[in-house]
């Protein structure tokens, strides 16, 4: 989860200075900050648990592609604005329900993390939902853009509901989330909003997977290279 | 010997770096002041938002402020739970926000209607009109949204209810 948040945060931050309007530039940078902040909390806790003298920065900047377990959805290039919004909507809807379940688990830290993050994700969800409605039910051109985005991204949504070995272990220890059980809630909200936006819900067929096992798309290495450049070139550099 | 109460009073000198009219105690960012087992003081703070970039500055300002009052050793501890909520902001803090031109949070964070788009009226901090429109859910900082007043036509920040 920490990897997914960091990587999606990095992708969203690519919009900083390139947003279609200043308000959206700020909105996406804010959401990116929330994700990176949430990832930092998780990495910090992982560092405490692992007790190997590492910090959150070691996990973010000094690991290679295969060590990252983020879902493929999070690493796809930012695309056009419709693509970014479609991804944000599908992910926030899932993440909101994920956190609601995580909050019911047995781990005190994760419960606190979930309660904190839920407050933020409510706003992320609302932001992306508003844009899906506005684009879908907007002009013919905006409708076409957002529909194409949903069609393109749809085959990457399956991984959010697929249990990796780590997910299974977490669930057995009563600290994780039963991911397949989130699907019906997710489908209900996604289909309600897409319908209201006069959009077609894409047909579910074959789904991409592999990110959670460290098998990434070709885009990922380029992105990591840019994200990790400073720490790799100037090890231990500090602000 | 300094008391816990005195430390709380000293901490009211620490401004919120992004909203300097409020101090970190009024904001509800300082959660606890306590003694550790070695007799040093611990100040527990909580972030308003996970990605709040002001946290580092707040931590340093707390250390500096207490050092200025010759209180040491001091440790600042950051904790997530219970999550910060605008419900902790005092009425006085809300009024100070309004006077600076930032609309204070409306309603309670327990409101669930928000998720599917039910929104509360936000009052313009300048002319008090409720004829206002949200321009963007995200404003100049993570904790604020951008609004405009349809009555006096001024744009303003709204402190989001979380």
Q: What is the pLDDT of residue B113?
A: 55
Residue B20 structure tokens: 């300097």
pLDDT bracket for residue B116 (50, 70, 90): low
Q: What are phi and psi of A195, to 5 degrees?
A: -65, -45
Choose among A35, A40, A119: nearest Cβ to B162. Answer: A119
ipTM: 0.83
Distance between CA atoms of residues B156 and B8, nearest Å: 32
pLDDT in tens, A73-86: 999 999 999 999 99
Higher-pLDDT residue of B38, A97: A97
A interface test, pick of B49, B88, B111, B117 with most A CB neighbours within 10 Å: B49
User: What's the gap between Cα B149 and its chain centre?
Assistant: 23
pLDDT bracket for residue B112 (50, 70, 90): low
Residues of chain B contacting residue A48, judged by C-beta atoms under 8 Å apart: none
Mean pLDDT of chain B: 88
Name which of B5-19, B67-81, B100-114 the model is least confident about. B100-114
Residue A64 has pLDDT above 90, yes or no: yes
Tell me if B49 and A34 make a contact (CB, 8 A cut-off): yes
Domains of chain B: 4-78 (3.30.300.130), 88-159 (no CATH)
Choose among B50, B81, B140: nearest Cβ to A38. Answer: B50
Q: What is the pLDDT of residue B118?
A: 59
Instruction: Please report which helix (H) or strand (E) contains residue B158, including its range.
Output: strand B155-159
Distance between CA atoms of residues A238 and A17, nearest Å: 24
- Strand B74-78 with B41-45, pairing: parallel
Whether A34 has its CB under 8 Å from any CB of chain B: the answer is yes
Neighbours of A96 (CB within 10 A): 20
Distance between CA atoms of residues A191 and A170, nearest Å: 29
Residues of chain B contacting residue A23, judged by C-beta atoms under 8 Å apart: 135-136, 138, 146
Please state, for a pLDDT cut of 90, what percent of chain A lies above it: 95
Instruction: Please report which helix (H) or strand (E) contains residue B78, including its range.
Output: strand B74-78
pLDDT in tens, A185-207: 999 999 999 999 999 999 989 99
Tell me if B117 and A126 make a contact (CB, 8 A cut-off): yes
Please name every residue paired with B77 in a beta bridge, in sequence order, or none if there are none.
Answer: B44
Note the CATH architecture for domain A2-233.
Up-down Bundle (1.20)
How far CA B21 is from CA of B5, B25, B93, B161, in Å, comes to 22, 12, 9, 19
| Among the listed residues A192, A191, A169, A171, the one whose alpha carbon sits nearest the alpha carbon of residue A181 | A171
Distance from CA of A38 to the nearest CA of B (A): 6
Residue B117 has pLDDT above 70, yes or no: no
Instruction: Please report which helix (H) or strand (E) contains residue B159, including its range.
Output: strand B155-159
Choose among A26, A123, A130: nearest Cβ to B160. Answer: A123
Residue A44 has pLDDT above 90, yes or no: yes
Distance between CA atoms of residues A121 and A129, nearest Å: 12
Residue A75 structure tokens: 């690493």
Distance from CA of B151 to the nearest CA of A (A): 21
Neighbours of A129 (CB within 10 A): 24
Tell me if A38 and B83 make a contact (CB, 8 A cut-off): no
Tell me if B83 and A23 make a contact (CB, 8 A cut-off): no
Rounded to an integer, the average pLDDT of A29-38 is 95
């Amino acid at each position: 989860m920490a990897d997914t948040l960091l990587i999606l945060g990095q992708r969203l931050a690519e919009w900083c200075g390139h947003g279609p309007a200043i308000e959206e530039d700020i909105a996406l940078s804010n959401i990116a900050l929330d994700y990176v902040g949430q990832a930092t909390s998780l990495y910090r806790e992982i560092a405490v648990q692992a007790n190997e003298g590492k910090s959150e920065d070691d996990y973010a900047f000094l690991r290679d592609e295969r060590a990252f377990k983020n879902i493929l959805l999070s690493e796809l290039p930012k695309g056009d604005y419709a693509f970014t919004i479609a991804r944000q909507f599908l992910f926030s809807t899932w993440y909101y329900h994920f956190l609601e379940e995580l909050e019911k688990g047995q781990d005190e830290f994760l419960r606190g993390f979930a309660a904190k993050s839920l407050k933020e994700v409510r706003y992320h969800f609302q932001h992306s939902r508003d844009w899906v409605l506005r684009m879908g039910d907007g002009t013919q051109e905006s409708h076409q853009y957002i529909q194409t985005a949903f069609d393109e991204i749809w085959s990457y949504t399956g991984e959010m509901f697929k249990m990796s070995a780590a997910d299974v272990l977490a669930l057995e220890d009563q600290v994780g989330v039963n991911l397949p059980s989130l699907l019906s809630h997710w489908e209900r909200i996604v289909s309600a909003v897409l319908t209201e936006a006069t959009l077609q819900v894409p047909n579910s067929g074959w789904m991409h997977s592999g990110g959670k096992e460290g098998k990434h798309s070709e885009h990922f290495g380029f992105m990591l290279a840019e994200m990790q450049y400073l720490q790799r070139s100037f090890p231990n550099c500090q602000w | 010997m300094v008391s816990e109460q005195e430390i709380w009073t000293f901490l009211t000198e620490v401004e919120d770096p992004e909203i300097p009219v409020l101090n970190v105690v009024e904001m509800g960012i300082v959660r606890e002041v306590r003694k550790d087992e070695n007799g040093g003081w611990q100040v527990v703070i909580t972030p308003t938002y996970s990605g709040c970039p002001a946290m580092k500055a707040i931590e340093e300002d707390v250390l500096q402020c207490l050092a200025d009052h010759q209180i040491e050793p001091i440790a600042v501890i950051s904790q997530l739970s219970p999550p910060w909520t605008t419900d902790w902001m005092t009425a006085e803090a809300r009024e100070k926000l309004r006077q600076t031109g930032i609309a204070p949070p409306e309603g309670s964070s327990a409101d669930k209607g928000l998720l599917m788009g039910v929104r509360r009226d936000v009052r313009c901090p300048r002319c008090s009109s409720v004829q206002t429109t949200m321009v963007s859910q995200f404003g100049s900082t993570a904790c604020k949204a951008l609004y405009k007043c349809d009555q006096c036509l001024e744009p303003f920040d709204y402190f989001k209810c979380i």
